[in-house]
Each structure stands twice: as C-alpha cells, then as structure tokens.
Structure 1
Amino acid sequence: MSNGRAIVGVLLVVVALGSTTASVGIAGAQSTTSIDSCTTIDSPGAYTLTSNLSAESGDCLRITASHVTLDGNGHGIDGGSSGVGIEVAGSDRLSDVTVRGVHTEGFTRGILFRNVDNGTIADSTATGATEGITLLSTDDTTVTENTVRENALGIELRKASDNTIADNTANDNKYGLHIERASIGNRFVNDTATGNSLWDFYSDRYEPGTDSQTTVKNLDMGAVTADLSGTNVGVHAQGEPDSAPSGRTAVGTAVRTTDYGEGSNLSLSLHYDDASGVDESSLALWSSPNGDSWSKLDGSTVNAEANTVSADGVPHPATIEIFGRSGNGTSNATATAPQTATATAATATATPTAMQTATPTATTTATPTATATAPTAESATSGAASTTDSEATPLAAETTAVANASETSANGTTTSSTIGPGFGPAVGLLALCVAGLLAVRFGRRR
C-alpha cells in the first residue's frame, strides 16, 4: 500500500513539473509582427517582412525604438533614387537593434544606423545607392556577411567607433570600404573588396596627427590579400608589375597606395603563396612611384609561417610589391599535390580446409601543381567621395557608372583526392574464424 502511494506521489510531481515547464515555454515565446508596407517601428519586438516593399520617394522603413529585430526574410525594398531604405534612428540614442536578411536598391542610403549602440546588420544587400550601408555616430556595432554593389560608397563609417566590419563583400562600387572623420578603433576582418573603380579601402578626413586606430585583416582585393592600419590613406589592387629590381622576382601582385591630406600613415602586410625557385628569406616589400624604378622598404620583414611580408611607414602614393631572390635560393615552398589512390580489395574464400587468399595492392601518384594568375586591375585614381558634414541632411544621390570588373583570386589552390576502398587485418581475421567454424561443422557432419 505504501508503495502505491509513493508511485502516485512521483507521478503527481512529474505532472506538476511538466505543467510548469510548459507554462514557462509559452510565456517565454516572443510573437513576431508582420510588415507588408513602408512604416515606422516604434516599439521593441521582433518584426518580419512578408512581402517586397517599394517607396517611390523618401524613406521606407524607420526604426525608432531599442531592442528591435527586423528580419527581411529575403525580401527587397526598392526606392526612387532618394531617401533611406531602412533608417535606425530615434529621438534618443538607441541600442540592441538588428537588421538582417533584407535587400535594398535605389536609395540615397540603403541601410543607415544613426546614433546606435550594440547593433547588428547582417546577411543583407544594398545596391545602387550613394551609400550602401552606413554607420553614422554609431558604436560597438557589427556589420557582417553583407553584400554592397554598385554604390558610390559600399560600406561607410562616419563618426563611428569600435565597430566590427567582418566577412562582407564590397564589389563594383566607387569606394568599397570607406571610413572617415572621428571614426576610431574600428576593425575590418575577412572582407572582400574587388572591382571598385577608385579604392578598395579608403580612410580620409582626419585631422593631422590623428590616429584612427583602424585595423584591417585579410582584406581580399581579388588579386592580392592585405593587412593594414592607417589614417588618411587608400589601397587598391593592381596587377603584376612590368619591371623588377635586378636579380629579383615578383611574388604575387602589387598594391597601389594613396594619401588624403596631411598626417597620413600606412603600415602594410601583403600575403603571398609559396612559390618554388624563390628564396623565402629574401622576400621584402619594394615601392615604386610609378612602377618602373624600385626601392626596398626599410624595416621590411617576412613571416614565413604566416606567409606575409610587412613594413611600417609605407610610401603613398606608390606601387608596393613583394620581390625575392630567384635562382639558387632555398625555399620551403610546397605545392599542394592532388592524389589518386586505388586499392584492390582483399578477398577471402572460406572452405572446409580454411583456405584464405588476400591480395592488396595500392598505387599513389602525386603531381604537384601551383599556378597563380591575376588580371591587371584598372589604374587607381585618387579622389574623395562627394559627402556632406551634416548628419541631418541626406546626401545627394549620385549617378554611379561602375564597370563590372571581375578579378580572380591569385591565392586559390586546387586540391583533389580520390581514395579507393580496402580491407584491413580485422577483416582477414574474421575470414579465418568463419573458415574454422565451417571446417568444424563440416567435420561433424562427416
């Protein structure tokens, strides 16, 4: 009887706990508000676009509240060559606002965060704007996995600090990644910027003596990948140089640098692929005003483990290239070898006399190949984008005619591997056991 009461008590506790858990789950669920027209979002919560939107003139979506998530759900917002596609700005400074999964086209600004902290712009596209994605007086915000194309400025930071710009693609704009004025301590990581008609990365409008504390890591400019830090400078990918210092061989492709105003400075690292026939320890950065006479940069260093060559105080404007000694130098270069492996599977035949036959064969052929080619990038032209100092007045729309340039990465390595099936010792042992059992059973029958 006592056992029965105990079981009933346990069941009641389980039911009560299940009921409590269900209540918490229901209460914790957050409802989502559907958006099917241009509007203002003025309350915290989750919002989802349920259709494509269009604004013939002016702004479309405006977020004026903190703690808002707007999911475009892959939908687009078309504009009439003015206004803002999505503007995040309120009467007070906002925080914790996320915009993701939306496509804007044809606005003065595609996506604008103004006076925002701890925001996120992710997995979105902005095309055909004066500024594709803009952080204005916005701090500690992440811009990641977005695509900006055919804009005057792809991703723009103005008076915006301590932001992370990572894994974005900024192709075929006038300026791919642009940072200016009092924007301090921003980090660009693993971004791609190719085919931009002026500069792939550009920093300008800082007072002389100001350090923007900007860091750029793994900037893929199509023909070349670079790390850099600098203020009032720009970089753009170029092709392979037409000339080389005596006894030197170019490794990879060149970068063109420029400056904007006084007090500009640039530290630069260029990445390279291992290449046979070049003494890796001899690699260094060289500069040329116009690509026909070269000077080795003082303090240039090579990091063979990271495959980078670096220098501080890099000249601008100039063409910068990696050169190394060719011929008798020793290199630790290795090419990735495609492998083809075939194996004839072991076969086991079991008879009453427990006979096994196994014939494994394996042939491996490795042919190292390493080929790096890159088209010559168009000549870079210095110049500042047409912008205005006023935060309240939208920029005038520009007509952007950008050639659809396409550059193939010089860092690609093709690796293929085909491995045939085989049998190990365990399978052979199993075959012997089976043969033994068959032999015993056969003997008993006899």
Structure 2
Amino acid sequence: MCMMCVYIMFCPLPFIITLLSKPQTHTNWYNNIVYILSLLPLWLFPSFLKTMALTSISFLFFLLSMFSATVSSLTCSTQKLTGTKVYPNCIDLPVLNSFLHYTHDTSNSTLSVVFVATPPSPGGWISWGINPTATGMVGAQVIVAFKNNGVMAMKTLDLKSYKVFIPGKLSFDVWDMKAEEDGGLMKIFATVKVPVNVTAINHVWQVGPSVTAGMIAPHDFNPSNLNSKGRLSLNGAKDFGNNDDAPLDFVTKKKNIHGVLNIVSWGILFPLGVIIARYMKIFPSADPAWFYIHIGCQLSAYIIGVAGWGTGLKLGSESEGIQFSSHRNIGITLFCLATIQIFALFLRPSKDHKYRFYWNIYHYSFGYAIIILAIVNIFRGFDILNPEEKWKLAYIILIIALAVIALLLEAITWSVVLKRNRKNSNKTYDGYNNNGQNRQQPIHI
C-alpha cells in the first residue's frame, strides 16, 4: 500500500511539469521523454498497481486535453475582431504571445493590420511596426498603443537607436489607426502604405512594462524580446514570422559565428585537451605524444577562442543599449584565465624542480576553472541567441558523452596506477624476492 501511495503521488509529476511549462517551448523529443518517464513505473511495479496507475494517468490526460483546448483557443484564427473589415491572413507570432491579422491590397499598395498582444503589466504598452532598411529595432517605424488615464492612446515612433524614441510622422503614410483593450488584451488597428510590387517586408513587434506621463519605458531584454522580429509575406503564401526561412541579417550571422567559435574552442577542444593530458600520460608508450596532442588541442582552442572573444566584443560595441553583463564578464574572465594558462607552456619547470608542485596546482586549477566557466557561458549564450532546441540538445549530448568518457578513463587510470603501485611494492631492494633470502637489507645507523 505504501508503494501504491508513493506511485499515485509521484506519477503525475511529469505531466504537471508539462502543464506548467510554456507550450511554445515544447519539442517532440521533450514530450516523448515526459511520456516515457510517466510510464516507467508501469514496468517497474507489480501488475496490481497498474490499474491505479492507469486511472491516474487517464485522469491526467483528461486534464491535459482540457488545458490544450484552452491554449488552442488563444490562437489568432479564433479571435474575434470588431468592425466590418476582413483580414484573410493570420499569424501566431513566435514570441511574446502575440498575433497579427492582415490583408494586402495590391491595387493601391496598402497593408491593413491588426496586432494583438498582452503587455507584461496592466500599465504597459504594445507596438508593431515596419523596418524599411533592416531587420531589427533600429530604423523601425512603429505604432505604439497604451492606456492613458483609462483610455487607449496611440503614438508613432521613429526608432533611431535602442535608447532614442522620437515621436512623430513615420517615413510612410499610415491612417485608420485605432487601439482597443479587452481584459488585458490590447489591439492595434492600422493601414499603412507599402512599396509597389513588394511581396515581403521586415516587421517588428514588442511589449513593454509601463508608460509614465506619456514617456514609454524600455522593454525587457529577454530572448523573446530580442527575437520579436521577422519577415512578413504580404500575399500570405508563406510566413517568415520567426526568420527561419528568411535570409539572416549580418548581425545574426555574426552572433552565430561568435557562438560556433566559442563552442568549438572552449566547449569542445579545451575539455578534450584536458582529457588527453590526464589519461594518456599514464601509459609509457604514449609519452611524449600525449604532450604534443595536448598542446595542439589547447593552442587551437585558444586561437579559435580569441577569435570568438573578439567577435563578442565587436557585437557588444555595436549593440548600443543591449547588455548581457554576466555573459560578457564571464567571457572576459575566461579569456584572461586562458591567456595566463598559455604561459604555463613557457613557465613549465622540470619534473624534479622544487616549484613543480606549485606549477601543477596553478595549471590544474586554471584548466578546470576554464572548463566550468566555458560551459556556463555557452549555456548563457544559448539563452541569449535562442536557437532551435536541437542545437542546445546536441551540445548537451556532447558534454554528457565527454563526461562519460572521462569517468570511464578515470576508472581505467586508477586501475592501472593501483596495479603499478602493487607491482612496485612487491619488488625488493636488489630486484630479488625469495622469501627474504638474498635480499639486501637497509643499513641502520
């Protein structure tokens, strides 16, 4: 009975985690893992528990289906809009729980839109706009909606930078602007003039926390806020809402290059070099090959890492108003430690030198610190860049594989060392061991 109670208590946990998680963060592999975890007790427990287990799971599936129905009702295709205008195209935008209804009239080159989003706080704001020259926020021409003394108000902004918001006329004509609010959900209605014969435009959208005396407070710099941009197909044939199919802009390419360089250097080559140094040198036949392989890995990691570090500094200098302090500080610390570590090659004393012990402490501690900081910062980078989940999963699998290899080699190393020590302890002073006979005894003074 105790086992039954424990099972009934803990069997729902994977599903509860699923229900509490954000739906857009789920992937098929994650759902499969949750499903398998929830069914594991069915294979582990006796058959009389399965009836109770299946009852619990069936009830949870019912709750899950009810929750899914609630979530599905939030899609843009089920929303009701006021007015008589028809918007045949509808997009669930990939971030910020926002939606876009639109229609493109090619006869007069106009785009009519309804942007729907919920601000992060009751006094917050929402915005949607077009960037005629780039794919991000800088240069965008946006329409902002917010509540002013309980009444919906609107502004148009020309975003010259991340910090400068200039109210005024946009670079293109806009009319029929209207804002609505219902139960915390805000809507922007507008019609804008678009260039003739254009089939796609760069659009941006955003939500912010507050408006004080008509001054719009900056939005958060979470990954979802930074990725609220995309390429909008005007004919509705295909949506580039999350830029997966749109050509990458130059800044995004540099971010990807920065991430790849640092993952390959600090996240793969450097740990591999440490594994080689720790576990190959115990085999006499691997000496001195292990040393040169170790040096090759670490020097390659440092050179590639410096390139990745440099691209990171360049990105930081070009992203005015956007700061990832912890990621930046860890990166600088990592670079400094790695630079000092490189000097270990030139400061390496001989094995019998009196300072070799202290050199070992410095060399080992710096090496392991670099690995820890590198892994932490790589995952911070994943959160900032927000790539497809498969890339983060691939790196997790790689790190786990390296850790498993290191553990296996650690066990083998200890086995070899212990056998070698036992063998050495059985040797006599003169190389003979005949029950104490013909053994050279130590001289006592």
TM-score by length of 1: 0.23
TM-score by length of 2: 0.23
Choose between structure 1 and 2: higher helix proportion.
2
